[in-house]
Structure 1
């Protein structure tokens, strides 16, 4: 039992480190837009360990990433967004079949509900620009990211994660 907890902690820690690297170094950043791949490790944590683990991991990743590689001032709203993103991936995909429909559902909830709506509220608060003025570029980002996230999550799960982990540790 204790060995499983250590293994889980190490795996989640490695995925948090990967999330920080993908978010901070492998993304395109502008003042109101970030297109990156940090979602991928978080989705994997949600699929393997559940909503709370994924939410806490992404929030920790957000805080650590901001402390180690600052790219502006810290705003707790984005940490809340990170937590909720992990929770959604876990709720929709943990201990459930990893079908394309479920992956699309999770990505749409995250992109449309959290990234488009909630992140735009945070940017409105931070920048003082009108909510509706921020929406056009944010809608474009979401339109681009929904298919990218769906395809990458599905491919990484089916082609990489399932082959690395033991079959007893993964639920289809």
Structure 2
């Protein structure tokens, strides 16, 4: 099996076979570029923070605030994660203060905007739902109706990046 196919491990075999066929026949790169011809322009931490806050304020005004958002070039190395939501607790004057932080894998600086949006939606959903349960995915789909397709396409994007770096 092509090493890049590890990103879609766990998907049904017939889907893995379709992607493998695209890879083996050299068709995944042109297919992906036709499906997503444009990359987003959200390159800076400030622009990413503003982008996250727009989505948060549209769908999740009443959830805990997000104090920090950024790209992280180490995330991709950890269990193939695409983004991370963390709660940082600090002792401040005898009181424990917690802050929500969202980090997005740096490889998504070069991604199409819908894939970045899917990641942001995923991490924002963790403000309300810690686990990847039914409620979590319902919230993701509320914020992004094409969530599941975009999540799959984000994995295809990782395969696309691997193939491009090899060619």
> What is the TM-score when the length of structure 1 is the normalising length?
0.28
Greater helix share, structure number: 1
The structure, 1 or 2, with the larger RCO (C-alpha pairs under 8 Å, 6+ apart) is: 2
Q: Rg: which structure is higher?
A: 2
